Amino acid sequence: MKKSDFLFIIIISTILLTAVHYYSNFLVYNDPHCSSGLTASLEEPEILPVILNEYGIPADSFLVIEGSIRRNQTLSTILSGYNINPRIIHQIAGFPREVLDVRRIRPGDGYRVFISNDSLSMPRYFVYEPNPVEFVKVRLYDTIHMERRSREVQQVMKGVSGSVSSSLWNALRESNASPVLAIELSEIYAWSIDFFGLREGDSFRALYYENYVDTISVGTDRIKAAWFRHMGREFYAIPFEQDSVLSFFDQDGNSLRRTFLKAPLRYSRISSGFSHSRMHPVLRVRRPHHGVDYAAPVGTPVYAIGDGRVIETSYSAGAGRMVKIRHNSVYTSAYLHLRNFEPGIRPDVWVRQGDLIGYVGSTGMSTGPHLDFRIWRNGHPVDPLRIESPPVEPIKEENLEAFNRVKEMWMERLNGL
């Protein structure tokens, strides 16, 4: 045998042995019937996990630019600053308003723009945060996609107690609690305590929920139970559901709420409702009408819808003769265009629900006899027809045992603060 032939045989043999070895390994890796011991001996490719940020976007794939909306800035001006195609901006503006209403973005709201981490540096996602809980994510490439999502909110029950030195608002701040709780306390005790007349030394306790997203507080939710000492008297607020309605009751089972009369007069029809933009019948311009007009003949009696103190009886070119009553620290009502006042109705007079206070007229800026009836809640006008009137009856006999169990539980927790 020639030396060259011998070398050729060695080379061919080496190639064949290598091929057989590779082929056998290939069968073991792909054969579903091979043992786990054989497959474990092979080196599998490493699969790197994709880390997503809180919006479900790959965290390491983008340069993230954070910003907040400035005064008079619109979504269009923000996106245009990142060279986003006007057609895409127009498409985003056309999405349903319940997902993103571009007219309602507010100064101070946060946003983030996700720029591709490559040579193109193209904006790929836009995220708008209208509040700490919700966010709107817009995909800016391929098919434009938008979704509104909410972060998971956890509720933690907390307790607060304090003493009033200057105001309830300040007392809550000094107790490291949200001063917003003062508004809710004033509503719970609206018919029991005059919060305009709080005195130094009045004290309070409350159990409430605070909302958290991760470890960040996003505000208080609601007060669960409360106790207040005012002018030497104790007032408990115990939550209890009766007739499928959750209300607050005192320690004796009496409701802390009172109800208003459904209407301040016996009327034939409503001639105009509550509106933020109504064509004024005299001025012929659009302006708010924060009341309800009851059409009624001149001289129809007008009654106070609830107990309260008269704080104004006046005449003006617009409202005509008007009576204004402050019912408590939350609600105030007014009765406009009266022909005259009932004798004895003047400022600082206390009236009871159903007391006669005046008569329907057409004084002031009016096109005919009617009563313009208005209600303010915490200083803001509200639609009188939409005010909820919770039940004011005490705990029923059949519910008394269950109420007492609930009462003892909440009183024990409140007294332990």
Give 399's pLDDT tier (boundaries 50, 70, 90): very high
pTM above 0.85, yes or no: no
How many Cα neighbours within 13 Å face the side chain of 341? 18
- Cα distances from 367 to residues 281, 283, 350, 364, in angstroms, run 7, 11, 32, 9
What pLDDT does residue 272 have? 76
Q: Which of 337, 338, 357 is nearest to 349 (CA)?
A: 357
Walk me through the domains of the chain, giving residue ranges and CATH numbers: 59-150 (3.10.450.350), 154-249 (3.10.450.350), 269-386 (2.70.70.10)
What pLDDT does residue 102 have? 84
Residues 6+ apart with CB under 8 A from 216: 132
pLDDT digits (tens, 9 = 90+) for 294-309: 888 999 999 999 889 9
Pick from 67-76, 130-139, 185-194, 378-387: least confident = 185-194
pLDDT digits (tens, 9 = 90+) for 306-339: 889 999 999 998 899 999 999 988 899 999 999 9
Write b or e for each residue in 386-404: b if 16 or more Cβ atoms lie within 10 A of its Cβ, otherwise e.
eeeeeeeebbeeebeeebe
pLDDT digits (tens, 9 = 90+) for 51-110: 567 788 887 888 999 999 999 888 889 998 888 888 998 888 888 888 888 888 899 999
Question: What does the radius of gyration of the chain's CA atoms come to, in whole angstroms?
Answer: 35
Q: Is 62 left (phi over 0), alpha (psi -120 to 50) or beta?
A: beta
Residue with tokens 């983030």: 112
What is the phi/psi pair of residue 265, to 5°? -160, 165
pLDDT digits (tens, 9 = 90+) for 243-253: 888 899 999 99
Q: Is the pLDDT of residue 27 over 50?
A: no
| DSSP per-residue codes, 358-417 | EEEB--SS-SSSEEEEEEEETTEEE-GGG----------GGGHHHHHHHHHHHHHHHHT-
Give 206's pLDDT tier (boundaries 50, 70, 90): very high
- Cα distances from 150 to residues 55, 104, 131, 209, 386, in angstroms, run 10, 18, 10, 19, 29
Give 34's pLDDT tier (boundaries 50, 70, 90): very low
